[in-house]
Structure 1
Amino acid sequence: MTFSELSESYLGDVDLLIVFPLSNDIQTFCIELAKQQRYASRMIVCVPEGDDGKLYCRIVRERYGIETVPLPRQKLLEGQQCRLGVDLVRHCANNLMRKVSATMREWRVQNTVVILIHGIRTRALWQGEVRESLQSAGLVAIPTNYKKFDVFRFLLPFKRTKQAPISRVEEDVRAVRRKFPGAHISILAHSFGTFIIGKLLGNPEHQFDRIALCGSVLPIDFDFASAEGRFSEIINEVGCRDIWPAVAARIGWGYGPTGSFGFNRGNFVHDRKHAEHGHSGFLNGLFCKEFWIPYFCDGAKSNAGDVGAEPSKLVCFVDNVPLPLAKLLFWGSLLFLFGWPLWIGAAWTYRALLH
């Protein structure tokens, strides 16, 4: 019987394999098993103490990543007390806990749905690449689409101009809940999508798991306290070269520069800075794989980004423009550029009436 036939016949369904390499044949057999990852991850090797054992222990542990337990052969032969049994039980328990954790993680990932919410002035083509990246990790990714939302409606102070995209996304969220009952619903929102998710957080109907924001235009003083309990955690990707949240905060109503500067409110949001990223620099598969997949799968935020990064000079300049002046300059310019035909028409009408 060949090695492969032997291993398949006797070890195919083994959850934990404890090997005592007390002879050259068994040592060779152990190395052959260790070369196959599916066996190596289940093995515990009890290596005899001594110089030869130390060398063999280094090989199986450092080259193949297998756990080893010292085997005090002389003490066992003499009937002396030793810790072999305790060490084996501890390693077996650790192995079992790792297996349970891996199973729970796999189950959780498969039951996590990430809803993608885009921003304004876009067809959200980035959603395809990001969706593929998320799904390659075992997550379910669902894009939303509220059509191409123009900057004029985005900036107007009237709530009704923004209600259509909010309602559209809310219906999509409800549809996802109906399709995936009991799933963990997470959110990845960009730009105006962060404003939309802010509105949904104000509705007690919605419960979310992990939320990732990028290019955020939510106000710095957003009322997270009232929404507490409707989300598990929020991470905010800050683009230090992202000028647009700062612009929106200066010339629009109800927005904040949180995508440019962060919230700086650690009780509710974890800000993660990125020195070279602009408004859409996050929206690609590479960034998703490096930052968002660990976050949505495990809640991991170990990749801290660029901790000491500061906003660019242009972002700071925009943020320092006095609020009334910024609004006056922007809306006054619009009125001048697009309103002069009305003024000329009114003047001609007035002149005609006088004559």
Structure 2
Amino acid sequence: MALLNDICGAKKKFIRPTLIIGLTANVEELDNYKAEFLRSVTVVLDGSLYSSDWKYSIMGSIKSLLDSQLKVIQKETDKLLITVHGIRTYGKWQQELKENLNKYSRDFNSVDFKYGFFDIFSFSLPYLRNRKAISIARRIASVLDSSADKDIYIVAHSYGTYILSKALELCGSEVKICSVILCGSPLKHSHDIEHIIQRSEITINECGTRDGILVLARCFLLGLGDAGRVGFTREHTSSFMNRWHKGGHSHYFDDKGTPNFYQRFWLPLMATGEKPISHDDREPYLTEDVVDIGIKFLTVLKPILYGFGFYFLVKFFVGLVVG
């Protein structure tokens, strides 16, 4: 009894085990101490030498404990957060988002996909852009395939949305995703994202109405657009929505306000499964028609400008070789 008091005493230095089994072969004394044992011991057993029933009881108690602990471990690792950052950044927001999510839920493991500083020149050239994207997309697809039994949540920003689109084309058909959040996407507004929506219970495209970076991408970079500004051109359903916010290319990660952007719009969805709410900060302005026509004109002109640029570049190098 002294040992039991040392183990279970609140003021003692010993850590109380999760499971304590009391075992005695002295059947006559069992009734004298049974009540006291039951206050501190999980199970009290008759350990008679003439019966082996107590062995099976111990095995059953230990198995029950291990099963319950396994459920806890599974619960803690059943959710996976995947994040993918954009160009010209090291993705500091990924760590901050993970830390904020952990304040609300301890159930998540996370994988932050990083690929170093990707410069604007390489991003501007379709060949280099696609080569980099496919390389990272294969890594993402591999993680998705190996995590098909988990509840998966994905947040991708800027070029990360371009990479994610390719990754979801590469992974196996058994991969299902709880939610996909795209923000600041340079994909074209007409880009087919059906393969993303079909894999995800809910896909949200967050748009910054003042995202000048995406205006430049749409006007001057071949193969890119401004879906992260104007939204994807498709119907809103229970599995897809565009949301428009006043802000620029990276305002989703600003710490301004309490709660900040992702605390308000993303964490409830990931931590508690709360249904996302629609949001639209768009307002008409005086020169909207002129700006819209100008952007569309430059978008049409873009391939021609690239063609002329390539022609003069080739002509220049030929001149150097011949001359």
TM-score when normalising by structure 1: 0.56
2:298 is the alignment partner of 1:322: yes
The whole-number CA distance in structure 1 between the counterparts of 2:280 and 2:158 is 21
**Where does structure 1 lack aligned partners over 5 or more consecutive residues?**
1-106, 351-355
Q: Which residue of 2 aligns with 1:102?
A: none
Judge conservation of contact 2:85–2:157 (CA < 8 Å) in 1: yes
> Secondary structure at 1:197's aligned position in 2?
helix
Q: Which residue of 1 aligns with 2:250?
A: 280
User: For structure 1, which segment, 119-128 or 166-175, has the greater mean C-alpha deviation from structure 2 after superposition?
Assistant: 166-175
The whole-number CA distance in structure 2 between the counterparts of 1:109 and 1:301 is 24
Residue identity opposite 1:270 in structure 2 = M
Assess, with a 3 A threshold, how the Cα gap between structure 1 residues 261 and 228 changes in structure 2: closer, same or farther: closer
Q: Which residue of 1 aligns with 2:184?
A: 215
Judge conservation of contact 2:196–2:203 (CA < 8 Å) in 1: no
Assess, with a 3 A threshold, how the Cα gap between structure 1 residues 318 and 242 changes in structure 2: closer, same or farther: farther
Q: CA deviation at 1:114?
A: 1.5
> Secondary structure at 1:219's aligned position in 2?
coil
> Secondary structure at 1:282's aligned position in 2?
helix
**Where does structure 2 lack aligned partners over 5 or more consecutive residues?**
1-73
The whole-number CA distance in structure 1 between the counterparts of 2:184 and 2:154 is 14
Q: Deviations over 1:118-168 (max 9, x none)?
A: 11111112222122112222143321112222222222233x642234322
Residue identity opposite 1:301 in structure 2 = P
2:124 is the alignment partner of 1:150: no
Judge conservation of contact 1:134–1:288 (CA < 8 Å) in 2: no
The whole-number CA distance in structure 1 between the counterparts of 2:279 and 2:95 is 24
Q: Deviations over 1:239-286 (max 9, x none)?
A: 0000222322222233221111111421463011112x1000002462
The match for 2:163 among 196, 207, 213 is 196
Assess, with a 3 A threshold, how the Cα gap between structure 1 residues 218 and 108 changes in structure 2: closer, same or farther: farther
The whole-number CA distance in structure 2 between the counterparts of 1:183 and 1:217 is 29
Judge conservation of contact 1:204–1:230 (CA < 8 Å) in 2: no
Q: Which residue of 1 aligns with 2:22?
A: none
Aligned pairs, number: 237
2:150 is the alignment partner of 1:183: yes
Assess, with a 3 A threshold, how the Cα gap between structure 1 residues 203 and 333 changes in structure 2: closer, same or farther: closer
Judge conservation of contact 1:118–1:193 (CA < 8 Å) in 2: yes
Judge conservation of contact 2:197–2:203 (CA < 8 Å) in 1: no
Name the % identity.
27
The whole-number CA distance in structure 2 between the counterparts of 1:229 and 1:183 is 17
Assess, with a 3 A threshold, how the Cα gap between structure 1 residues 142 and 326 changes in structure 2: closer, same or farther: same
The whole-number CA distance in structure 2 between the counterparts of 1:255 and 1:249 is 6
Q: Deviations over 1:59-97 (max 9, x none)?
A: xxxxxxxxxxxxxxxxxxxxxxxxxxxxxxxxxxxxxxx
TM-score when normalising by structure 2: 0.61
Residue identity opposite 1:240 in structure 2 = T
